[in-house]
Amino acid sequence: MMSYFAKMKGSSTSPPAVGYREILWSWMGAFLGMLSVSYINFKMLTGPNSVFLIASFGASAVLIYGAPKSPLAQPRNVIGGHVLAAIIGVIGYKLLPDLIWIAAPLVVATAIALMHFTKTLHPPAGATGLVAVIGGPAIYDLGFSFALTPIGLGALILTLIGILFNNIPSNRRYPEFWI
Partner 1 sequence: MTDETALCVQVDISDRDIFEAMKEISGYLDITPGDFKEVYLKAYRHALERLVGSVVAQDIMIRKVVYARDTDQLKAAAAKMSAAKVSGIPVLDDQMRVVGILTEKDFFKEMARGVASNFMDVISNCLNGRYCLAAPARDLLVSDVMTKSVITVSPKTAAMEIADLLSRKGINRVPVVDESNQLLGIICRSDLMAPQVKIK
Give 128 or 166: the residue with its C-beta nearer to partner 1: 166
Task: Please answer whether residues 154 and 44 qualify as being in contact, where contact means their C-beta atoms are separated by less than 8 angstroms.
Answer: no
Say which DSSP state 147 is in: G
Interface with partner 1 in residues 9-48 (CB under 8 A): 11-16, 18-19, 21-22
> Least CB distance from residue 55 to partner 1, whole Å?
22
Find the part of the chain contacting partner 1 (CB under 8 A) among 70-78, 91-99, 125-133, 137-145: 70-78
* 163 lies in the binding site for partner 1 (CB under 8 A): no
Give 15 or 47: the residue with its C-beta nearer to partner 1: 15
Task: Please answer whether residues 174 and 64 qualify as being in contact, where contact means their C-beta atoms are separated by less than 8 angstroms.
Answer: yes
In angstroms, rounded to a whole number, what is the distance separating the alpha carbons of residues 43 and 62? 24
Give 72 or 151: the residue with its C-beta nearer to partner 1: 72
State the DSSP H helix or E strand holding residue 103, giving kind and residue range, or none if neither. Answer: helix 100-117
Sign of CA dihedral 49, 52, 54, 56: positive
Cβ-proximal residues to 71 (8 Å cutoff; 6+ apart), any chain: 77, 121, 176
Amino acid sitting at position 27: W
Find the part of the chain contacting partner 1 (CB under 8 A) among 8-16, 99-107, 109-117, 155-163: 8-16
Give 91 or 121: the residue with its C-beta nearer to partner 1: 121
Amino acid sitting at position 121: L
> Least CB distance from residue 69 to partner 1, whole Å?
5
Give 152 or 169: the residue with its C-beta nearer to partner 1: 169
**Residues in contact with partner 1 by the rule CB under 8 A:** 11-16, 18-19, 21-22, 66-73, 171-172
